[in-house]
Amino acid sequence: MSEPSVFTRIRTGDIPGEIISETENVFAIRDIAPQAPVHLLVIPKTERYRNVGELAAADPGLLGEMIAMAGSLAAEHADGDYRLVFNTGANAGQTVFHVHAHVLAGGLEEKELRA
């Protein structure tokens, strides 16, 4: 068994962090190093999928639940518009190999919109 991911450790209370939204299968936290005025992470409770490709192939319904939560959070925390980013692989900047969506919103700068 590998160690629980940092996200699971937040969800289970092992390390500090606020769960800002939660359903049966999905939860959300604030990114500790925000890259936009609103920068949230939407995460499935299962650690089974390392990246969005694995998740989409195996459980598209769960991916849909993540996207639904991203939209709700963008409406609640910003004007409803948002970017959804799934870094996939270390060479693309992925550091946590428990699939998660970055929800970026709230008046993005031009440079953030081009990224």
Q: Which stretch binds ligand AMP (CB under 6 A): 47-55, 63-71, 74-82, 88-96?
A: 88-96
Is 96 among the residues that bind ligand AMP (CB under 6 A)? yes
| Binders of ligand AMP in range 16-75 (CB under 6 A) | 17, 29, 31-33
Among 4, 5, 6, 106, binds ligand AMP (CB under 6 A): 6
Catalytic residue flag (residue 98): no
On the CB side of 30, CA atoms within 13 Å amount to 11
Question: Residues touching ligand AMP: how many (CB under 6 A)?
Answer: 11
**Residue 94 C-beta-side C-alpha neighbours within 13 Å:** 17
CA angle 71, 77, 78 (to 5 degrees): 80
Stretch that binds ligand AMP, among 52-60, 64-72, 89-97, 104-112 (CB under 6 A): 89-97
List Cβ neighbours of 80 (8 Å cut-off, separation of 6 or more). Answer: 71, 74
- In the numeric block, which tokens belong to residue 30? 């604030």
Helices (H), the chain: 6-11, 52-58, 60-77, 110-114
| Among positions 1, 2, 13, 95, the unique one binding ligand AMP when judged by CB under 6 A | 95
Binding site for ligand AMP (CB under 6 A): 6, 17, 29, 31-33, 87, 93-96
Catalytic residues: 100
